[in-house]
Amino acid sequence: MKKFLSLLVMSSLLLAACGGSEEPAGTEGGEPTAEQSEAGGLEDLFVTVATGGTSGVYYPIGGAIANILETELGVDSSVQATGASVENINLLNTERAELAITMADAVLQAYEGNGAFEGEEPIESLRGLMAMYPNFVQVVTTEDSGIESIADLAGKSVGVGAANSGVELNARMVLEAYGLSYDDIEEDYLSYSEAIDQIKNGMIDAAFVTSGVPNATVIDLDTTHSAKVLPIEGEALDYLIDTYPFFTSEVIPADVYGNEEEIQTAAITNLLLISNDLSEDAAYEITKTLFENLEAIQGSHNAAQDISLETVDVGMPVPFHPGAERYLKEVGALE
């Protein structure tokens, strides 16, 4: 027993000599130094990047973002496949994601409490990191379907995207611009890949695919069935732009899907949002790191090549996070 007590005392003395007190090494009065606090704020952070379905454009871009944060900042990060815009906004709002790729229309509706967020409290905590690239509304069918315009979708089975996704919101608005609604079609809530498979199998006639171009699933359809993208033009396009100012007029270039000519359509800006719960310094470092490694994001998908500092605020309907704003003002992207 005496030998045991002697060993215990000696062990305690050795621990004290080696800094085994209640105060960690490198601190004063038990508080971390400023350097440790700044590093720890990022080191202890886990960043979930909310994207969309694995067959869409959001997912590879989100994967590139997560990879940059891990390799350049040492931040643990993961990319999460989701139902896209509306779900991503809710993930941010419930602190289950730190970054989220969304469409500007859904963001504005959430911020104001209307549209898909009708009857809910406006989510005024939404904060932007950057505007990314335009999402083209692509209403896809096949050459042998007999469908020549969106007006021809009346009485047809149509994939409208996952329920409450940004794609589905667009589907409702585009149909409205042509004097149609879900009462006039047989709507089917399908992801991009599910919708294209159903077109191939003859189960549905057309599908809304709102994404960057080219979309891999549309390319897949074109390899077997001669895909056709219906134009959005004329009075219907004017109606969309006048009624919903987040829409812009765009064209899908020739030869993207084997199309000989450009296809007139509508587009909506994609945004990268960042959690308002992140500190200003953390948001600053994340923003700075992403833009300093922008080539890696641009290389993740053809659609991402349009991301640049010059268009960082185009279509952003919510305030920038103070940390993102600080960096963007430093580099002259914001005034």
Residue 212 has a pLDDT of: 82
pLDDT tens per residue, range 148-200 = 999 999 999 999 998 877 789 899 999 999 999 999 999 999 988 999 999 99
* 8 A C-beta contact, residue 258 and residue 229: no
**Which run of H or of E encompasses 76?**
strand 76-80
Amino acid identity of residue 230, one-letter, is L
Could you tell me where the DSSP H helices lie in 267-330?
A: 280-292, 294-298, 322-330
What would the two tokens of residue 247 be?
Answer: 């829409």
Per-residue pLDDT of 76-118, as tens digits, reads 999 999 988 999 999 999 999 999 999 998 999 999 998 889 9
Is residue 140 within 8 Å of residue 206, measured between CB atoms? Answer: yes
Fold topology of 43-132+269-274+286-313: D-Maltodextrin-Binding Protein; domain 2 (3.40.190)
Residues 129, 283: Cα–Cα separation, whole Å? 8
- 33 confidence band (pLDDT: 50, 70, 90): very low
Residue 189 CB coordination number (10 Å): 17
CATH homologous superfamily for the domain 135-268: Periplasmic binding protein-like II (3.40.190.10)
**What's the pLDDT at 20?**
38
| Residues 268 and 210 sit within 8 Å (Cβ to Cβ) | yes
DSSP 295: H
pLDDT range class, residue 30, cuts 50, 70, 90 = very low
What type of residue sits at position 325? E
pTM score above 0.75: no
Average pLDDT over residues 216-245: 94
Instruction: Write down the pLDDT at residue 65.
Output: 98
pLDDT value for 333: 97
More confidently predicted of 180 and 20: 180
Least confident of 9-18, 136-145, 155-164: 9-18
Helices (H), 58-165: 58-73, 85-93, 104-112
Q: Are 279 and 133 in contact (CB under 8 A)?
A: no
Tally Cβ neighbours within 10 Å of residue 71.
13
Query: Up-side HSE of residue 307: CA atoms within 13 Å toward CB?
Result: 26
Give dist(CA 147, CA 228) in Å, integer: 9
Residues in the chain: 335
Both tokens of residue 23? Answer: 């105060």
d(CA 185, CA 206): 11
Task: Report pLDDT for 22.
Answer: 35
Higher-confidence residue of 292 and 191: namely 292
DSSP 10-30: HHHHHHHHTT-SSSPTT-BTT
Please, which pLDDT band fits residue 44 given cuts at 50, 70 and 90?
A: confident
More confident position, 73 or 57: 73
Does 24 score more than 70 pLDDT? no
Q: Which two tokens stand for residue 245?
A: 């100012």
Q: Is the peptide bond before 214 cis (omega within 30 degrees of 0)?
A: yes
Average pLDDT over residues 120-144: 96
Domain assignments of the chain as residue spans, ordered by start: 43-132+269-274+286-313, 135-268
Q: Quick one: pLDDT at residue 154?
A: 98
Q: What was the pLDDT predicted at 41? A: 58
pLDDT above 90 coverage of the chain, percent: 73
Q: What is the mean pLDDT of the chain?
A: 88
